[in-house]
Amino acid sequence: MAIDQSFLDELTARSDIVDVVSRYVSLKKSGSNYFGLCPFHNEKSPSFSVSQDKQIFHCFGCGVGGGVISFIMRAEGLEFYDAVSFLAKQNGMTVPENNYDKKTSKSRERLLALMKDTARFYYSELWKPENINVQQYFAKRGLTRKTMNRFGLGFAPNSFFATMDAMKEKGYTQDELLACGLVAKSEKGNLYDKFRNRVMFPIFDLRGNVIAFGGRVMDDSKPKYLNSPETAIFHKSRNLFAIEKARKTTNDYFILAEGYMDVIALHQAGFDSAVASLGTALTEEQARLIARYTKNIIISYDADNAGQMAAQRAIDILKKSGLNVRVLRIPNAKDPDQFIKEKGSDAFRRLIEQSSDDIAYKINNIASKFDLEEDQDRISFLKEAAYILALIDSDIEREIYTTRVANMAKISPQSMTVEVKNALQKRNQSLKKEKRREVRSVTQNAQPKDKSFKYENITSARSEEGILSVIFGDNTLVSYLNGKISPDDFTSPILKAFFIHALELYNNNKNITIPAFEGHFEPEALSLLTTITSRPVPAMREKALDDYINKIKSCKLKQSDSTTDPLLALAKAKKEKKFWR
């Protein structure tokens, strides 16, 4: 625990969860709770619940949940301490340094300082007279000195030790250099600079801290592009290149580009809402990060096949976050950077105005595969297009695109409507079958959504969940459990950890609540705990506890018998075919 619990108690008491969540989600009261559309996954009917009494949130759709700090961590993409600081600032409070784990704080501050000093080192190397060829590389790419300074571009010398030596002179240790991913270790255990002879692109977080680097090699070395590894201060899936600049835009849209140079060229040309993922395919977390600042996203990937395939994947991820997606088609150019150089900013702005929405883009992609003057190709096109149209939920939108597709293939809209209706029926049948499979799969439904918490003994784990649900509903019943069950009786490690912390809170005269678990467990664990404690509590609670305890003891006895009785063990082994051919 990094921050004193008494401070967290006061902070959460001042931060009413309904008020906080309402800044991100439109909530309506229904009964004792508030409901709205979940901000963490795409949905059309509200399944996101906020309880003012319990000071928790829980989505019955995607399963996320927790207290007010957990909500801010997810909504703002922050680590625990940063989320606490965020809420504290809003409430006019200061996180007490004497209560904060100064070693952890100092370590994070040191790593951020190291990255900042490294960025300055790379910047200074770029502008040395002997590196004129590197300066010319950026100049040939059309970048001005102002743009290069704004993005903090730099150069990593062609040396195995230059960066390491420079940072050691500033007092940083080898362990800190390793922790930031600035150096790597050879098979013999020797350290060397990870980035060598590369133009460097600093990656900033939302607060303007340098948290990572991307580097493009200046010779024929491999890999051509190299990014910082995951570190304590850098998580690829949660960050975007230039997000700290794009979030200040006055545009009502973001542009999602493929590479760093595309983003920089777009910003220089006046399109200051451009961002890019960090050397990997777009993630759902990155899509949610974009959705915090805009509802409209324009995909501007390379015009080659790889770029277009990446755009197809990105569409589905962005749509899940509730974004309105449009896609640019760049004629006779490989990427936005090249197009702007050849045609200028105004021409690119016209492309944005003419960009296709995601459905039109998919239909045009399908059409490009066929010769619509040939009958067989037209039939194949119409069947593929019907499948896409069947995925549209809005009847009006589906009818508009159905007519468009019919016109493209020169058939009557009525004929195409029949084809789409057939595709829609097949889709609905598939959805029904999927739901039936989910209902039949009781075992699967009993498992936590997060596979890392998988229960080895579901029967026992369900009773362990039951105990947690009851004591959360009535803290006084912890004393009823005294002498009847212990944490060692729990089969699930995560449920055991929850139970231990609940006992600690009770023994210290603290309330057993979700907010009291924040800071002790990761958000994913808190989501599981919130799901468990959101279930109705039985009316006859002592009897329910006795039933849960008996079931846990019974499972434990069966497990013990199967491992101690040689005949049972042999029978079990034979059944599982462990020793039999």
pLDDT at 503: 94
pLDDT at 238: 83
Is-contact 206 77, C-beta < 8 A? yes
Is-contact 199 134, C-beta < 8 A? yes
Confidence category of residue 445, pLDDT binned at 50, 70, 90: low
Is the pLDDT at 104 greater than 70, yes or no?
no
User: pLDDT tens-digit profile of 371-417?
Assistant: 999 999 999 999 999 988 988 888 888 899 999 999 999 999 999 99
* CATH tag, 372-440: 1.20.50
Gap between the Cα atoms of 463 and 492, Å rounded = 11
Gap between the Cα atoms of 118 and 131, Å rounded = 17
Confidence category of residue 41, pLDDT binned at 50, 70, 90: confident
pLDDT at 78: 78
The H-or-E segment that residue 343 falls in is helix 336-343
Q: Name the DSSP letter for residue 228.
A: P
Is-contact 440 538, C-beta < 8 A? no
Can you tell me the mean pLDDT for 419-435? Answer: 80
pLDDT over 70 percentage in the chain: 91
Can you tell me the mean pLDDT for 108-137? Answer: 95
Tell which wins on pLDDT, 332 or 122: 122
Is-contact 260 228, C-beta < 8 A? no
Residues of the chain with CATH 1.10.860.10: 451-575
User: pLDDT tens-digit profile of 212-260?
Assistant: 999 999 888 888 999 999 998 998 888 999 999 999 999 999 999 988 9
Tell which wins on pLDDT, 331 or 7: 7
> Of 236-245, 265-274, 442-451, which gets the smallest average pLDDT?
442-451
Phi, psi at 277, each rounded to 5°: -75, 170
Is-contact 51 33, C-beta < 8 A? yes
Tell which wins on pLDDT, 459 or 77: 459
Gap between the Cα atoms of 192 and 163, Å rounded = 9
Gap between the Cα atoms of 264 and 272, Å rounded = 9
pLDDT at 576: 37
Q: What is the mean pLDDT of the chain?
A: 87
pLDDT at 577: 39
Tell which wins on pLDDT, 104 or 510: 510
pLDDT at 440: 47
Tell how strand 254-257 and strand 296-300 pair up.
parallel
Tell which wins on pLDDT, 500 or 335: 500
CATH 3.40.1360.10, domain 235-368, yes or no: yes
Classified by CATH at the fold level, domain 101-234 comes out as: DNA primase DNAg catalytic core, N-terminal domain (3.90.980)
Sign of CA dihedral 139, 141, 142, 144: negative
pLDDT at 490: 94
Closest CA to 268 of 239, 304, 242: 242
Residues of the chain with CATH 3.40.1360.10: 235-368
Is-contact 181 228, C-beta < 8 A? yes
Q: Which long-range contacts (CB under 8 A, 24 or more apart) does 168-173 make?
A: 170/117, 172/110, 172/114, 172/117
Residues of the chain with CATH 3.90.580.10: 5-90
Is-contact 62 49, C-beta < 8 A? no
Residues of the chain with CATH 3.90.980.10: 101-234
| C-alpha 240: how far from chain center | 11
Is-contact 231 180, C-beta < 8 A? yes
CB atoms near residue 250 (< 10 Å): 6
Is-contact 80 70, C-beta < 8 A? no
Is-contact 531 63, C-beta < 8 A? yes
pLDDT at 575: 40
Q: Give the CA angle between residues 108, 112, 114 to the nearest 5°.
A: 115
Closest CA to 229 of 156, 160, 276, 180: 180
- 2.40.30.20, 3.60.15.10, 3.40.50.2020, 3.90.580.10: CATH of 5-90: 3.90.580.10
Tell which wins on pLDDT, 451 or 309: 309
The H-or-E segment that residue 381 falls in is helix 375-390
pLDDT at 494: 93
Is the pLDDT at 572 greater than 70, yes or no?
no
Give the chain's radius of gyration (CA, Å). Answer: 29
Gap between the Cα atoms of 68 and 11, Å rounded = 10
The residue assigned the tokens 């997606």 is: 325
pLDDT at 2: 58
User: pLDDT tens-digit profile of 317-368?
Assistant: 898 888 899 998 887 767 888 889 989 999 999 999 988 888 888 898 889 8
pLDDT at 426: 86
* CATH tag, 451-575: 1.10.860.10
Is the pLDDT at 99 greater than 50, yes or no?
no
Tokens of 569: 């063990």
Confidence category of residue 580, pLDDT binned at 50, 70, 90: very low
Residues of the chain with CATH 1.20.50: 372-440
How far apart, in Å, are the Cα atoms of 446 and each of 57, 118, 452, 531? 21, 49, 14, 12
pLDDT at 331: 79
Closest CA to 277 of 316, 328, 311, 326: 311
Is the pLDDT at 563 greater than 60, yes or no?
no
pLDDT at 560: 66
The H-or-E segment that residue 30 falls in is strand 28-30
Confidence category of residue 579, pLDDT binned at 50, 70, 90: very low
HSE-up (13 A, CA, CB side) for residue 26: 3
User: pLDDT tens-digit profile of 126-146?
Assistant: 999 999 999 999 999 999 999
